[in-house]
Structure 1
Amino acid sequence: MSLQRPIDPDPYSLLPEVPAFTLTSKDVAADEPLDLAHVYSGMGAGGGNRSPQLSWEGFPAGTQSFVVTCFDPDAPIPGGFWHWTLVDVPAAVTELATDAGSATGAGLPTGAFQVPNDLGERAYAGAAPPPGDRPHRYLFAVLALDVPTLGVNDQVTPAVVNFTALGHVLGRAVLSTTYAH
């Protein structure tokens, strides 16, 4: 069985168009492979499982909070794979330190919380594509929202967060990285 599949379009291009703003990182570069520090520690991947440093600017006026995510649209399953979802990041916060997505939550801004990723962990889960598969894209995204809190709790799925956010998104910033092993 071959895991080789055609590359799907950018999943964010399928959503309603909103203004873009800038997302950067001191730890990862656009369209470049992730360092082992940001790869999953389990399932044979052997990485450090640390979320990268992220910072953003140029988001729309009226932004009241942010949602931060990491999504792999190339996972060999129909709906992709959610690696991280951080909700209710206050509008005054424009940077997350390296490893902010740890399971302890110690690096999270006050009021923000993580929902379970597709491994069921309330934390960042680093890249872990199947061995031999083509490079996967890991899309780090920041959504600027028009509400101070999204009104969900830490029990919902990333899909529920993104669906709930849909009508509140003022702008979106995406940083696409890759990884294969």
Structure 2
Amino acid sequence: MRIGVAAALAFAAAVGTALAQTATPEPATPKKEAKGANWLAGQPVQVGPKGPAYENVRKALDALTPEQRKRFQENFMRWANLSPEEKKALRDREEVRKKMVEQESEAAIQESGLQLDGERREQFIKRYSEGRRLIEEQLRKEMNEKRKPLVHELVGRLRNEFGSEAPLTVAPQTASPTPTAKP
């Protein structure tokens, strides 16, 4: 659950940065190209609301269901209200998670016995990561479903225990004599 929230908050930060660029007025001069290259296509990155990064974020947000958009907005607001230290802690946790996924992906490639290079290796890692995310999500749902009745039962027992008018007394434990072994 925490990893999902951290990932959503990290995504929210990235989207927030892209959306923050839209709040600035567009200059009359042509778009500046950011230093570096587009990490996907190896082409210069255009900065601003008409740039490819903004377009990708907009498309991703448009593809969300209303429920997902609402959850994203809530997560984004939580992210915006975090202190810089909390944001850094979440970024660090996300880095650790990414490294763990990378290590697990490498182990999966080794376990499969496949010899993959370049693009095929990246595709394998991407598919493995997506599959693992789905498995983790399914397991989380199953655990939550199993947990619900147990927590409900626990609350009922505690209600009975603490709901009585008589004060709760705990009997002192006395040491019981230890049996001696007979020869």
TM-score, normalising length from structure 1? Answer: 0.21
Larger relative contact order, structure 1 or 2 (CA cutoff 8 Å, min sep 6): 1
User: Whose radius of gyration is greater, 1 or 2?
Assistant: 2
Higher share of residues assigned helix = 2
Structure with greater strand percent: 1
